[in-house]
Every structure is written in structure tokens, then in C-alpha cells.
């Protein structure tokens, strides 16, 4: 069976557990990624002639495995594995595998490195079939690790990684996807970090392009080089050095080389940007035409390097702190010069707290030299409000990325989100590009109607503001409101009945039916497409096609946001469907029930049942064993009812004078012992003469007490003791019935579990496709979209109820209630002897 993406991620992240404690994430990431790199190139290139990466004999992962347990394992990894690989492939700055300060000394280092290697020995981690066609499961795993490393590295050490979501935005707005690209097309990142941004841009191109990158930090530049190889860009040119003071990519004349596309996420507000550089005597003439950036504010230094590094037809994009849009002095002059030359084609404001090195909001400045002279303004997007929380950081969702890209690439004016700002308007604002000057993205205040507060009634202006709902259900306002006076209406139903009134309205019912039919019109052809999937298909291509078709299908539908619908599919893809797709791509439509075996701390194996990832047990049960499941559900319901009755009995008689007062704990043993004690007391009293009629009262008990007596337990004669015995006997009877149901339920569940397990070998490919496509994928998506539609009625009901409650009690009524309460309080105080003035 193929390894699921989620399991691959889990296996690789598990390797980090071997290193935590001795160093922080910014350090142990290097060890984990080097192991991943060596495993990958060994699987993919070892022994292959003319491979772009050389794996010297004796320096493969298999040779590393042979070092496990050796007392000199760290030293041997350095000398026998790392050194030959580095020399053969012009790599450098690998971590020291013999560093006792990080890995521990003696036995601790041996055990730690041995366990780390063993994790990568997992046969499922076989990268020999790793695809290089844009659907690279390993590349995604690498991104997963980098994001988690950045999260754990803390504020000061997470700058080696640009969040993948932001990289995707840059890649898609840069225009490389629509360009006529080839191997001669050049893409450059002057501050490439680990290379994730470069790779996202390169993957967006229609063909292989030539990658250039420079990174100041030596270890991170080595990481970027490995990243290129892991993503099948082994010929990418990554150089180490300070881009501003010592750019490594130069033309024959010594000036900086120019490129077709340039992207960057430089360090924000670099205070040491000019170290080793005289900006007034820059041999590359990056600052002279525009001005020199402030000595302790290097943002524009990097942006001007990008401008200088672009061909006259080049396109660039740079992530910068929001301050570059409005800060004054030298930066204001640079900004004015860039705008006047038409180099800035767009600005995208991003949410705060996206990046690992800082929590401040950032923006993307888009540079376009190709059409600079004909440009009439700057297209601005304020996307600061679209994100989700992800632990301590914010993160762009798929829908946020798509919305930004769609609006920006189409240059589509969108209220409170985006607009083309003409140069004349920018000039009037003294070239201040701060987005709030041009786009008001704040939610409008909910206005209060003073007359409605004074006289009651809901303003018709508030009702009219719900026009998008009335457009779908034009008769619904008449069912909810009635005119009270000019400009105001009253609610015709009770506030609690608003939602039922909406949902029961025939026009809303028709809308729900239409939406179900609309989904069916999309899912029918999609179902055929999904059932036709064959091993070897590309899951990323599949989800791209499915998501785009779904987004387009709901683009013009009322009351729902097509991007919200799109997000439901993308969420389900990430949670479930992606793993299924990769399993099918690798093994076909195969559903096998496999045992789950866990190893205990003592080393013993423990059977945890069975499971099937592609076709979960509940799908097989629902389709083939519905009656058996219904019987189990009935047993469970009866058990729960009896359990609730027993709990209620304990609650009712649990006080100090209750039937359970004599018990330390309420359980079968204690209840039985107390009943026997009561029986003995009753017997003793009877033998001593007792009170007359005791036996009559005993015989008059209900059948439950009689059953208890038949078990050998008598009851006392006294009225209070009879009550106690009745309650205890009833509790014991409920306990026994519940226990019987539990045993019956366990037997039935075991039988159904075996039936379901035995069904898997009988499933043919058509059965599996029906279960996966119809019962699993499309059913889950239909339910999610149905919930989204349901939210429309909930939003309307909530708003109408808020308005009704806001204006339901006018001021005179409130005043009367205040007077009434004040009068009652005064009367109470007077009776208590207090004067009230």
C-alpha cells in the first residue's frame, strides 16, 4: 500500500522528537532535512549514470544505515557520508553530526542518531518513484516540515521560510503562468532563504525555467540548495553572500544581472543593510536614480535592487512591511520616483501576523517594467481581513488566496476590497500609498434609529438592507412584517418563531430545492470523472480542476459566497480526499481491511482492531448492513435510556436522608450488601414479634422488590426502610438490565464488525468506486455545502431577531418598567424600616 501524505508528514515530524531538547527548532531542522535529503538522493539517483546529483560509492543512505550503533557514528557520518556528498555536488555548510553540545555525548549521541536513521528506514519512505511533474509528495512534505520548523523557531529565527500561502499569491500575480516561458526564462530571488518562494514561482510557470537565488546565511543557503534538489530543480543556481554588498550574479561588465522575473521576501526594516556597501558609490547604480534609503531602514534598498535586477520587460514582486507605503523623508522621495516612472503596478495589503519573523502587517509591492510608460494608476487590494487563525499565527486560506489572485489579475474593482487608483489621486495624496486612504475595508457601523427606540417598530431601512434575501424570497417580508406607520414595520411572529417562519416559507423551500438541484448538476459529471480515475493520475491536477469547476458553478448563485463553497472542497481535500487520491493514484481502487497493531512500552504487540483508509467501515455498514446497525442503535438507545433512569434515581434519592445515604459509593456491591442488611433487620424484627402488618406491606411491594426478595433479599417492615429497599432494589434491577444490554450490544457489535470485515474481499472495483465517490466524497461535500446554504437562513433569522429585540421595547415602556421596579423597591425598603427619598 502507498504511504498517505498525512502518514509521511507524521513519520518525518516524528524524527524531530529524537532531537528536541538538545537544541531549538532553528537548529534541529538542519539535521532532519539533511537526513531527508540523503534518503531522497540515494533512492532517486544512487547508481544512475549521468544523474544531475552524484551519490559517491559508500556515501548513500544504505551506508549511513550501516553506521547505526557504532560508537563513532557521528564522526563517520561527517567523514564517510557528508564530506563525499558535499564534494561531489559542490555543497557546503552541513550540520555537524558529531556535535556533542547538540546531540549529546557518548551513548546519548549514538542512540539519538541511530533512532533518527531508523525512522528514515521505513520501507514506506521510498522516494525512488517520486514524481517530478508538479505533483511531488515529497516536496509537500518538505513544505510541511519547514512551516513547523518556522513555527517552533520563534520570532527571531523563523525568517528562513516564507509561508507557502503567501508564496502562492506572489507566484500567481507575477504573470509567469500566462507568460511564454522556456528554459531560457530566468527567475531570481535575491534573499531566497530556504528557496520556498522561488520554487512556488517556478512551479507556476508552464515549463521548466532557470532558477537563481542568493542567501546571506550559509546554513540557509545550503538548505535552499537541498530544497531545489528535493523539488527536482537540481541545476538551480544558489549562491551564498550578502546581496546588497556583494551580489553574486553579474553580467560581463560587472553590473548586476537582469532577469525576467524577480521575487523576494527580504528581512523587514534591515538596520544593517548598508554594511560593506557605500550607497553613494554603488557600482551597480541601484540608488542613484531614486535616492538612498535611510541608514537604518533597508526596505527600499532591497526593492531598488529588485528594480535594477529586472529586464526592461521584467516583472517583480516583493514582500515589505506596510510602512514602506507611507513613511516619509528619504523613503517618500524614493516612493515618489518609483510611482512617477510607473514601475509600481500594484499593492496588496496582507493580514497581520502572517510571517514567522514578525507580527506586523506586510504588503506585496508589484513591479512591472514592461508597461510602465502606459500605466495610468496603481491597482490596490486591501486583503487584510481575510485569514484564519493557525496556532499563534494567522494564515491565508485557499479562498483568500483565490480571491486576491482573481481580483488582482482581472483588475476588478471590488467595494471595500480593491480598486484601480489613478495617479492623479495618488499625487493629490502626496504619493502616500497607505491603503486606507484609498480603500475603506472596515465594516460599516450598525446605525441606531432614535425614533424606533422612542416609539417602537423596526425601521424599513433596516428591512430594505436585507434586499439580497428578498430577491430570492420576495414574499417573505410580507410573512414576517406588517406596516405600523410610515417608515416602520412590526414583526408578525414571535422572535422564537422567526427561523421556522423563514424555513417553512414556500419560496425559501423552493430555494433549498434549487440549491440541491444545483449541486446535483455539478456532481453528476464530476462523479463520472472521479470514477474514471486510474493509477498514475495527478492528484494536484485533479483538485485544481474540481475546485475551479465548483467555484465557477456557484459564482452567480444568490445568498452563498462561491469562495466559501470553494473553501469547503479545499478543506475536505486537505483533511481526507487528498490521502484517498494519492492511494488511488499509487494502487488503484483497492480496499483492504488491515489490522491495527500497536506496540506497548514493554514491546508487546496489541491488536487495536482493523481499518480501511479508502473505504471506512461505517460506509460498508451503511450500505450493506443497515438493518444490523439499526438493531445496534436500538440496543444502544435502550441502554442509554436505562442509564439515564438510573442516574435520575441516584439524583432523586442521593441526599442525606435519601435511600443511598448509607452507601460510601453507589455500585452493585454496596447496593447488594445494603439490601441484605435490610433483609436481616426485617427478619430479626419479625422473629421478635415486630409490628403487625409488616408482612402485608412487604407483600404489597411492586414486582421489582419482589424480584429482589426472590434473589434472597428481604425488606424491612418500617415504612422508611421499605422505601429505602424499594429504591435500592429498583436501582439493582436497572443496573442488571443495563449490564444485560451492554453484553448484548457488545455481542452485536462484534458480529457486525466481523460481517463488515468479511465484506471487503467481496467488493469489486465498481462497489469501491460507489462507496468512495458517492457515499464518501460527494456526500461529505454535499453536506458541507448544505450547511453553507443553511447559514443563509440563520443569518437572516439572526438579523431579524436582533432588530426585533433592539426596537421591541420603546423608551416609554422602559420608563414605566423602571418606575414600577423603583416603586416596588421603595415599598420593600419601607417594610424593612428604611426611609426612601
pLDDT tens per residue across span 604-623: 777 788 999 999 999 999 99
Residue that the C-alpha cell 436500538 belongs to? 634
Return the pLDDT at 144. Answer: 73
DSSP single-letter state for residue 414: B
Quick one: CA torsion of 424, 426, 427, 430, rounded to 10 degrees? 160
What is the distance between the alpha carbons of residues 821 and 488, in angstroms, rounded to a whole number?
30
Return the pLDDT at 124. Answer: 67
What is the distance between the alpha carbons of residues 433 and 347, in angstroms, rounded to a whole number?
9
Quick one: average pLDDT of 63-76?
Answer: 95
**62 Cα distance to chain centroid:** 37
Task: Check the CA dihedral 416-419-425-431 and report its sign.
Answer: positive
pLDDT class of 694 with cuts at 50, 70, 90: very low
Residues 6+ apart with CB under 8 A from 788: 560, 564, 565, 568
Residue 701, pLDDT > 50, answer: no
Return the pLDDT at 356. Answer: 74
Residues 6+ apart with CB under 8 A from 442: 416
Per the CB < 8 A criterion, the answer to whether 411 and 345 are in contact is no
pLDDT class of 145 with cuts at 50, 70, 90: confident
Residues 6+ apart with CB under 8 A from 796: 466, 469, 502
Residue 296, pLDDT > 80, answer: yes
Secondary structure E strands in 325-383 = 344-349, 362-368, 377-382
Per the CB < 8 A criterion, the answer to whether 401 and 386 are in contact is no
What is the distance between the alpha carbons of residues 44 and 128, in angstroms, rounded to a whole number?
5
Q: Which helix (H) or strand (E) holds 483?
A: strand 481-485
pLDDT for 743-776, tens place per residue?
999 999 999 999 999 999 999 999 999 999 999 9
Return the pLDDT at 724. Answer: 87
> Could you tell me which residue, 581 or 47, shows the higher pLDDT?
581
Per the CB < 8 A criterion, the answer to whether 120 and 15 are in contact is yes
Poorest-confidence range of 494-508, 587-601, 638-652?
587-601
Return the pLDDT at 14. Answer: 67
Residues 6+ apart with CB under 8 A from 614: 580, 583, 584, 589, 590, 591, 768, 772
Q: Return the number of other C-beta atoms located less than 10 Å from residue 504's C-beta.
A: 11
Return the pLDDT at 22. Answer: 55
Return the pLDDT at 528. Answer: 97
Average pLDDT of the chain is 88
pLDDT class of 663 with cuts at 50, 70, 90: confident
Percent of the chain with pLDDT over 90: 63
Quick one: average pLDDT of 724-740?
Answer: 93
Residue 10, pLDDT > 50, answer: yes
Residue 597, pLDDT > 50, answer: yes
Return the pLDDT at 122. Answer: 77
Return the pLDDT at 817. Answer: 83
Q: Is 141 helix (H, G, I), strand (E, B) or coil?
A: helix
Q: Is 363 helix (H, G, I), strand (E, B) or coil?
A: strand
Cα–Cα separations (whole angstroms), residue 63 to 46, 60, 72, 81: 12, 5, 14, 8
Helices H, strands E: what count in the chain? 33, 16
pLDDT for 395-418, tens place per residue?
999 999 999 999 999 999 999 999
Return the pLDDT at 139. Answer: 62
Residue 129, pLDDT > 90, answer: no
Nearest residue to 415 (alpha-carbon basis) of 446, 399, 439, 443: 439
pLDDT for 70-105, tens place per residue?
999 999 999 999 999 999 888 888 889 999 988 888
Return the pLDDT at 21. Answer: 61
Phi first, then psi, for residue 32 (nearest 5°) are: -65, -45
Residue that the C-alpha cell 498525512 belongs to? 6
Residue 420, pLDDT > 90, answer: yes
What is the distance between the alpha carbons of residues 730 and 177, in angstroms, rounded to a whole number?
75
Amino acid at each position: 500500500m502507498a504511504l498517505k501524505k498525512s502518514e509521511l508528514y507524521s513519520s518525518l515530524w516524528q524524527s524531530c522528537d529524537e532531537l528536541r531538547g538538545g537544541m531549538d527548532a532553528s537548529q534541529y531542522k538542519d539535521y532532519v532535512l539533511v537526513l531527508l535529503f540523503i534518503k531522497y538522493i540515494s533512492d532517486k539517483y544512487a547508481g544512475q549514470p549521468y544523474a544531475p546529483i552524484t551519490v559517491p560509492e559508500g556515501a548513500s543512505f544504505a551506508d549511513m544505515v550501516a553506521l547505526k550503533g557504532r560508537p563513532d557514528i557521528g564522526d563517520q557520518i561527517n567523514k564517510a557520508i557528508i564530506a563525499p556528498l558535499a564534494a561531489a555536488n559542490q555543497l557546503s555548510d552541513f550540520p555537524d553530526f558529531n556535535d556533542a553540545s547538540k546531540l549529546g555525548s557518548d551513548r546519548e549521541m549514538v542512540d539519538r542518531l541511530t533512532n533518527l536513521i531508523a525512522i528514515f528506514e521505513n520501507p514506506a519512505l521510498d522516494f525512488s518513484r517520486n514524481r517530478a511533474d508538479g505533483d511531488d509528495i515529497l516536496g509537500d512534505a518538505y513544505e510541511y516540515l519547514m512551516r513547523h520548523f518556522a513555527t517552533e523557531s520563534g520570532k527571531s529565527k523563523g525568517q528562513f521560510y516564507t509561508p507557502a500561502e503567501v508564496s502562492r499569491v506572489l507566484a500567481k500575480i507575477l504573470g509567469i503562468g500566462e507568460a511564454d516561458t522556456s528554459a531560457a526564462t530566468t527567475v531570481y530571488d535575491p534573499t531566497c532563504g530556504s528557496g520556498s518562494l522561488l520554487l512556488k514561482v517556478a512551479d507556476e510557470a508552464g515549463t521548466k525555467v532557470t532558477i537563481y537565488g542568493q542567501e546571506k546565511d550559509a546554513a540557509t543557503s545550503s538548505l535552499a540548495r537541498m530544497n531545489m534538489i528535493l523539488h527536482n530543480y537540481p541545476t538551480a543556481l544558489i549562491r551564498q553572500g550578502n546581496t546588497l554588498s556583494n551580489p553574486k550574479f553579474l553580467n560581463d561588465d560587472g553590473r548586476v544581472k537582469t532577469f525576467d522575473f524577480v521575487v523576494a521576501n527580504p528581512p523587514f526594516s534591515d538596520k544593517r543593510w548598508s554594511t560593506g556597501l557605500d550607497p553613494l558609490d554603488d557600482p551597480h547604480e541601484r540608488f542613484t536614480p531614486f535616492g538612498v534609503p535611510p541608514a537604518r531602514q533597508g526596505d527600499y534598498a532591497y526593492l531598488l535592487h529588485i528594480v535594477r535586477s529586472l529586464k526592461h520587460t521584467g516583472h517583480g514582486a516583493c514582500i515589505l512591511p506596510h510602512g514602506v507605503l507611507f513613511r516619509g523623508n528619504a523613503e517618500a522621495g524614493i516612493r515618489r520616483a518609483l510611482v512617477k516612472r510607473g514601475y509600481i503596478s500594484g499593492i496588496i495589503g496582507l493580514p497581520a501576523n502572517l510571517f514567522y519573523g514578525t507580527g506586523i502587517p506586510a504588503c506585496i509591492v508589484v513591479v512591472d517594467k514592461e508597461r510602465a510608460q502606459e500605466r495610468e494608476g496603481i491597482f490596490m487590494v486591501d486583503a487584510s481581513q481575510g485569514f484564519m487563525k493557525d496556532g499563534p499565527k494567522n494564515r491565508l486560506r485557499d479562498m483568500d488566496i483565490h480571491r486576491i489572485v482573481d481580483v488582482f489579475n482581472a483588475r476588478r474593482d471590488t467595494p471595500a476590497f480593491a480598486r484601480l487608483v489613478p495617479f492623479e489621486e495618488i499625487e493629490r495624496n502626496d504619493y502616500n500609498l497607505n491603503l486606507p486612504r484609498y480603500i475603506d475595508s472596515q465594516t460599516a457601523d450598525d446605525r441606531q434609529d432614535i425614533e424606533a427606540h422612542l416609539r417602537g417598530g423596526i425601521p424599513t431601512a433596516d428591512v430594505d438592507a436585507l434586499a439580497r434575501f428578498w430577491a430570492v424570497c420576495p414574499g417573505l417580508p410580507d410573512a414576517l412584517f406588517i406596516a405600523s406607520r410610515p417608515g416602520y414595520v412590526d414583526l408578525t411572529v414571535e422572535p422564537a418563531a422567526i427561523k421556522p417562519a423563514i424555513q417553512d416559507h414556500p419560496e425559501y423551500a423552493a430555494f433549498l430545492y434549487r440549491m440541491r438541484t444545483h449541486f446535483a448538476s455539478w456532481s453528476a459529471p464530476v462523479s463520472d470523472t472521479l470514477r474514471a480515475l486510474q493509477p498514475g493520475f495527478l492528484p494536484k491536477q485533479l483538485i485544481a480542476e474540481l475546485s475551479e469547476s465548483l467555484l465557477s458553478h456557484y459564482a452567480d448563485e444568490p445568498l452563498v459566497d462561491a469562495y466559501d463553497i470553494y473553501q469547503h472542497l479545499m478543506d475536505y481535500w486537505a483533511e481526507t480526499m487528498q490521502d484517498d487520491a494519492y492511494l488511488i493514484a499509487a494502487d488503484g481502487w483497492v480496499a483492504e481491511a488491515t489490522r491495527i497493531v500497536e506496540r506497548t512500552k514493554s514491546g508487546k504487540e496489541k491488536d487495536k482492531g482493523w481499518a480501511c483508509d479508502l473505504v471506512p467501515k461505517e460506509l460498508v455498514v451503511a450500505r450493506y448492513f443497515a438493518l444490523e446497525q439499526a438493531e445496534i442503535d436500538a440496543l444502544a438507545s435502550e441502554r442509554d435510556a436505562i442509564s439515564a433512569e438510573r442516574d435520575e434515581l441516584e439524583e432523586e434519592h442521593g441526599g442525606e436522608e435519601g435511600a443511598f445515604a448509607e452507601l460510601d459509593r453507589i455500585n452493585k456491591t454496596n447496593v447488594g450488601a445494603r439490601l441484605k442488611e435490610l433483609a436481616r433487620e426485617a427478619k430479626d424484627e419479625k422473629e421478635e414479634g415486630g409490628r403487625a402488618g409488616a408482612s402485608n406491606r412487604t407483600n404489597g411491594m411492586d414486582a421489582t422488590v419482589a424480584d429482589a426478595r426472590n434473589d434472597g433479599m428481604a425488606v424491612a417492615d418500617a415504612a422508611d426502610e421499605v422505601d429505602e429497599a424499594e429504591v435500592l432494589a429498583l436501582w439493582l434491577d436497572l443496573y442488571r438490565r443495563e449490564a444485560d444490554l451492554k453484553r448484548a450490544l457488545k455481542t452485536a457489535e462484534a458480529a457486525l464488525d466481523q460481517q463488515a470485515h468479511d465484506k471487503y474481499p467481496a467488493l469489486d472495483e465498481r462497489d469501491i468506486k460507489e462507496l468512495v465517490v458517492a457515499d464518501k466524497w460527494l456526500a461529505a461535500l454535499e453536506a458541507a455545502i448544505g450547511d453553507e446554504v443553511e447559514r443563509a437562513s440563520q443569518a437572516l433569522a439572526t438579523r431579524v431577531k436582533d432588530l426585533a429585540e433592539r426596537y421591541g421595547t420603546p423608551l416609554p415602556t422602559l420608563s414605566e418598567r423602571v418606575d414600577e421596579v423603583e416603586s416596588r423597591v421603595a415599598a420593600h425598603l419601607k417594610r424593612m424600616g428604611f426611609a426612601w427619598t
